Chain A
């Protein structure tokens, strides 16, 4: 069955430090991959997406993600974290039938 795995339930990084959030997927075909962010008390917002082409995709707020087919991964990165990045991050896969499946999420804490 198709699935999305985010192995880290929560991560704490210092402000200004780099960040990498992990995401692995299980899907038979070339997937559509997404990262969404959910800030406290707010709805979900798309950070970036991958459909095809260049495997390194740029998103909003300085985030990027790299698709690695050989590792079935789509990790999210940011070179320098800001305190406002503290939020819940969800990796998602769009399956056939127009259904999007979300990972369990990784909560990011930023310390001063």
Chain B
């Protein structure tokens, strides 16, 4: 299993600013994912972040809006840039562990963003 810590747990930001969310894992992982959960909605995959390579973005998400860093096997950041009220969501970091738990995702508790 994995323990995932996200910071901040919540924040209120002004329109036009940016917010960087940090994700720290207590063990080394290869696969790390960022999801968005809009109010009352399901989870939508933003991007896959692998150490040593550029993040892979899903359709509808672009690097200029959601730049991601993955400097090592235990840490990643997601920045939400040029904020608008439509970006108000919960942003979730998740990781996939090794073969024994293949496919299972472990999630952080999320970062709740409100944009005014």
Chain A contacts to B: CB under 8 angstroms: 32, 34, 36, 42-46, 49, 51, 90, 94, 97-105
Contacts and interface: CB of A to CB of B under 8 A. Distances in A.
Contact of A43 (B33, B41, B96, B107): B107
- At the interface, is chain A mostly helix, strand, loop or mixed? strand
Contact of B92 (A43, A49, A98, A103): A43
Interface in B87-116: 92, 94, 96, 102-105, 107-110
A98 B42 contact: no
Contacts of A94: 103
A49 B48 CA distance: 21
Nearest to B93: A43
A43 to B, nearest CB: 4
Contact size range, B: 20 to 34
Contacts, number: 49
Given A42-B109, A98-B48, A104 B103 contact: no
Contacts of A101: 45
Given A102-B44, A105-B41, 10 more contacts: A32-B102, A32-B103, A43-B4, A43-B92, A43-B107, A43-B109, A44-B105, A49-B104, A98-B31, A100-B45
Given A42-B109, A43-B110, A102 B103 contact: no
A104 B42 contact: yes
A100 B105 CA distance: 8
A90 B45 CA distance: 14
Given A98-B48, A103-B42, A104-B41, A44 B107 contact: yes
B43 interface: yes
Nearest to A32: B103
Interface string B43-66: 111001000000000100000000
